[in-house]
Amino acid sequence: MSLRLRLLPYTVEGGPVQMAQDESLLEAAVQGQASLRFYQWSEPTLSLGYFQPVAMRQQLPAASTLPYVRRPTGGAAIVHHHELTYAFALPPRLAFRQTSWICLFHQLLAEVVAPVFAPGQLHLVACGQERKLGEILCFLHHSAGDLLLQDNKIAGSAQRKHRGALLQHGSILLRRSPYAPQLPGIFDLAGREFSTPTALAEQLARRFAQQLHAELYPDTWTTAEQQRIQQLLAEKYTQPAWNDKR
Amino acid sequence: MSYPAELRYTPTHEWARSEGELIVVGITRFAVEQLTEPTFLELPAVGTTVEAGKPFGVIESVKSTSDLYAPLSGVVVERNAELLDDPATGRKANLALILEDPFGRGWLIKIRPAAGTTLDHLLTAEQYEAQLASAGH
């Protein structure tokens, strides 16, 4: 087992900090460092896909007044509220090893929650089965590789590629948010809170490392990374030039 | 797969071709195959200075955004209008061109190279294909 996968601390922070930390993860991957982390958002926040116009917020009446941040990744908007977010970044040679990291991670999530649900209730959207139930929200786009539970999308993921390295982050819906009331979470669909965000994170981390045949080890940000995160926060993710760029 | 010998290539899967005093830039067929279905494209405005090896644009495909890297330094003098929305006429960008003809109608930008800049530092088709092969592609 030669690959080492560092597991960074579980954090609860605002959107700009989380996006700065994720981008820092990608930069570390370019240098050869594989990383994984899980987090939650300190306040309900809307994240926009890299190419989404900021004016789209007005088409989401329940979420239009939320703080928002633009992601470095593609895809559609997400209301981050009662959810668990994951992010991993992989160096170039590892990133090319798998054709669909989104399918892989969603499959791991399916395996983690499968014991709670009856057989046949969970499935990954196959190519050709894509559906768009709304324009703006990620969780209303059923794309290939998305995980559906009782026909509701419960995990949405997006990627950024940089110099061959890959950043993938995604949202796992736990409970319905009043800011996106049309989207039930896993606990809603189960009828009970069968786990906690941190317990789910631990299970997913273990399974992800097994899948990669990697040694998972807890770690913290280096001093240089902390400085870079502060720079990205100040110069990018809190700036209208980034968040309102379209 | 055979790559056009008259083009030069970057390790990050862009190509460059001389056209008079200008350099035409696009992305390779390998990059296109990785993208599968481009949905959005961001290109620098005409007049923007780009730097060799640094990102000059972003392309999105199936929720994945990827940086595009300049093969050489210079100033952007033209963008492929067919790949961009035209607000004046309402015409939508035709990103399928990148898929269908990455070395031809799917070109991205034209650059006036900085003084003294050549394509000699870029990979030949043979070297680029060797790079793909060594990476297992």
What ipTM goes with this model?
0.87
pTM: 0.92
Q: B8-58, pLDDT tens digit by residue?
A: 999 999 999 999 999 999 999 999 888 878 999 999 999 999 999 999 999
* C-alpha distances in Å from residue A194, one per residue of A71, A116, A183, A216: 30, 8, 18, 25
B39 touches chain A (CB under 8 A): yes
| pLDDT tens for each residue of chain A, 246 residues long | 579 999 999 999 999 999 999 999 999 999 999 999 999 999 999 999 999 999 999 999 999 999 999 999 999 999 999 999 999 999 998 887 776 899 899 999 999 999 999 888 888 887 667 777 777 788 888 887 889 999 899 999 999 999 989 999 999 999 999 999 999 999 999 999 999 999 999 999 999 999 999 999 999 999 999 999 999 999 999 999 999 999
Which H or E run contains A101? helix A101-113
CATH 3.30.930.10 fits A4-243, yes or no: yes
Domains and CATH numbers, chain B: 8-115 (2.40.50.100)
Per CB-CB distance under 8 Å, the chain A contacts of B67 are 161-163
Q: Is B55 exposed, middle or buried (0-12, 13-18, 19+ CB in 10 A)?
A: middle
Domains of chain A by residue range: 4-243
Q: Is B67 on the interface with A (CB under 8 A)?
A: yes
| Interface contact B64-A161, CB threshold 8 A | yes
Over range B88-95, report the average pLDDT: 92
